[in-house]
Structure 1
Amino acid sequence: KRLRLAIANKDFTFKAGQWVDFFIPGVSVVGGFSMCSSPGLLEREGILELAVKYTAHPPAHWIHTECTLDSEVALRVGGDFFFDPQPGDSPVKLVLIAGGVGINPLFSILLHVADLHGYREGKGNAYKMGTVKLYYSAKNTKELLFKKNILGLMNAFPGKITCRFHVTQQSSQICEELQPYVTEGRISEKDLEKHVSKDTLWYICGPPPMIESISKLLYNVGVPRNCVFFEKWW
């Protein structure tokens, strides 16, 4: 479920890639969800978005079964997994690697990159953004969240934002629109090593075994540890 929250506190901010602690009145368990919208949307419209998978975990269950249009919740931002370049910083390229619902914070970063590109075109003096490549792996194309939005970003910023979807258990026909961007099978060393360069930052989010294997793979091909950032989802 995609949740749009109107933020009442004008001083509330977050960085692309961060998560929120989600406090629900009457629910003792605190939820932890990554933002899937950009800091720019909050700035422009006072809106923040979360995508929450249905589970028995009380906060997620509440969102799917009890949350209504006028529900009020409290939020607290956290997390040191983010991309927040400043105008004077030297340009970097990004490789974003997502597994399953790990796409949420990376989609936020992708939207932030689009904002940076758009802002630069409008103002000319903002942060100069390098290219971004997203590798996104799921069981099948049905489980690829935000796929239409991601295709839209690729069309809006050709050559600047590119994406490769990987599916590991696809049984049905892949639709024509997605076909050119889909690879059957896991993300491999061969896919990643071509992006290795001294000005590339790597962001990985997904199940812990995936993070372990991808980060190990990156260290093996010579990526410095301080260029690899990850967020583990259990």
Structure 2
Amino acid sequence: MSVATSRHHRSQPEEGLVADIHRIQFEPVGIEMEVGEDEKILDAAFRQGIHLMHGCREGQCSACKSYVLDGEIQMERYSTFACNDAEVAEGYVLLCKSHAYSDCTIELLNFDEDELLGGVPIRTVTTRVAAVDPVTRDIVSLRLTPAEPFEFKPGQYADLTIPGTDEHRSFSMATTPATPDEIEFLIKKYPGGRFSGLLDDGLSVGDELALTGPYGSFTIKDGHVLPVVCIGGGAGMAPILSLLRQLSETGSTRPVRFYYGARTAADLFYLDTIRELGAALTDFEFIACLSESLEGADGIEVEAGNVTEVVDRREAQLGRCEAYLCGPPPMVDAALALLEAHAVPKDQVFYDKFTSPAAG
């Protein structure tokens, strides 16, 4: 086994030359596939209809962490928080950043047997902008109309291509396939952001955007019955709304608690939508967690403090729940630490950690 991490260790094929092809064997599931040296293993899996566990696809979240049993793999730049030096030395890799330079056998540490060969195919569709509406001082609702059906599971995300470039940004869907003519994204604006800057000046109704996906495994699993605790912040509202809509549409009877962290009441939005969804569920409660001020939060249940502090105070039985976390990395990290402190089994924890705003 050889695992190298320098992106310059092995040169890529010259333009016009075909990259060497290697075989990948995934254990313990017994699935095989081919991968070229010029493509990442995770991308090669998607191309062949194999849906491996993944999150950010940028080497920052560890959802695709796997173990190399045999073969030579090298990783491009990645976060050592997702895979530290000791783990790399032992043979762990992030498949979203890994290239194979020989036939390899890889042990999947996290996988969903139903998803592996039965996930929604990843494809690119053309969409047109239907609406661009601010919902808070820094979050915008972007509604798109697809030119053809776009299949996805509630809680997943897609890539939107920045017009006129080959760059893309990833955003979670806030809607479900029940509204096929409209896909909504809730996007946080960052100063200097390439895509978010278009939301102020650059995107108009009728403009064309390419959408690729779906990605992610932040989804409600069929047949699960445990109470649901959702912990969100910022634009992390989007995939949680999608999950709530799914639970409502399917007539779920699971108890649901939704904790949303913000600084002030002015940072809250879609409260009427949340009330409507909650009314359709058997046992639902929404708690706004305000870290700076409780003023102006009339008519809703509010708690003072960071969202994880509030969850810690109110949820004594976290170990008997499924937890869904989505928002800025510091919030997700704090929530994961809280869940670990409460000994919540890892297979009851699902999270989407938004990556650095520097590329927003």
What TM-score do the two structures reach when normalised by structure 2?
0.55
Correspondence for 2:99: none
- 1:188-218 CA distances to partner (integer Å, 9 max, x unpaired)? 2222333431xx2111112222222211211
Say whether 1:193 aligns with 2:313: no
8 Å Cα contact 1:21-1:77 kept in structure 2: yes
Correspondence for 2:268: 144
Distance 1:129 1:8, change over 3 A: farther
Correspondence for 2:160: 22
In 1: Cα distance, 2:216 partner to 2:334 partner: 21
Aligned length: 212
8 Å Cα contact 1:29-1:58 kept in structure 2: no
In 1: Cα distance, 2:147 partner to 2:253 partner: 31
Letter in 2 for 1:4: R
1:57 maps to which of 185, 190, 193? 193
In 2: Cα distance, 1:201 partner to 1:58 partner: 35
8 Å Cα contact 1:4-1:47 kept in structure 2: yes
Shift of 1:129: 4.1
In 1: Cα distance, 2:265 partner to 2:339 partner: 26
8 Å Cα contact 1:103-1:145 kept in structure 2: no
SS in 2 for 1:106: helix
Say whether 1:153 aligns with 2:289: no
Correspondence for 1:5: 144
Correspondence for 1:212: 333
Q: CA RMSD in A?
A: 1.9
SS in 2 for 1:110: helix
In 2: Cα distance, 1:30 partner to 1:212 partner: 25
Shift of 1:34: 1.1
Shift of 1:28: 4.0
8 Å Cα contact 1:82-1:109 kept in structure 2: no
Structure number with higher relative contact order (C-alpha < 8 Å, ≥ 6 residues apart): 1
Shift of 1:21: 0.4
Correspondence for 1:81: 217
Shift of 1:75: 0.6
8 Å Cα contact 2:186-2:237 kept in structure 1: no
1:227 maps to which of 331, 348, 354? 348
8 Å Cα contact 1:27-1:59 kept in structure 2: no
Deviating above 4 A after TM superposition, structure 1's stretches of 4 or more consecutive aligned residues are: none
2:304 maps to which of 184, 195, 206? 184
Shift of 1:84: 3.9
In 2: Cα distance, 1:96 partner to 1:112 partner: 14
Shift of 1:90: 4.3
8 Å Cα contact 2:159-2:168 kept in structure 1: yes
SS in 1 for 2:319: coil
SS in 2 for 1:52: strand
| Greater helix content | 1
SS in 1 for 2:249: helix
In 2: Cα distance, 1:99 partner to 1:51 partner: 12
Distance 1:217 1:85, change over 3 A: closer
Say whether 1:47 aligns with 2:182: yes
Shift of 1:220: 1.6
8 Å Cα contact 2:318-2:344 kept in structure 1: no
- 1:89-134 CA distances to partner (integer Å, 9 max, x unpaired)? 24232111002222211111111111111xxxxxxxxxx5412110
Matched residues, percent identical? 26
Q: Greater Rg, structure 1 or structure 2? A: 2
1:100 maps to which of 218, 234, 238? 234
Shift of 1:135: 0.7
Correspondence for 1:34: 172
Correspondence for 2:286: 163
8 Å Cα contact 2:173-2:185 kept in structure 1: yes
Correspondence for 1:114: 248
- 1:36-61 CA distances to partner (integer Å, 9 max, x unpaired)? 1123222xxx2111112223211121
Shift of 1:152: 2.4
Structure 2: which 5+ runs fail to align? 1-139
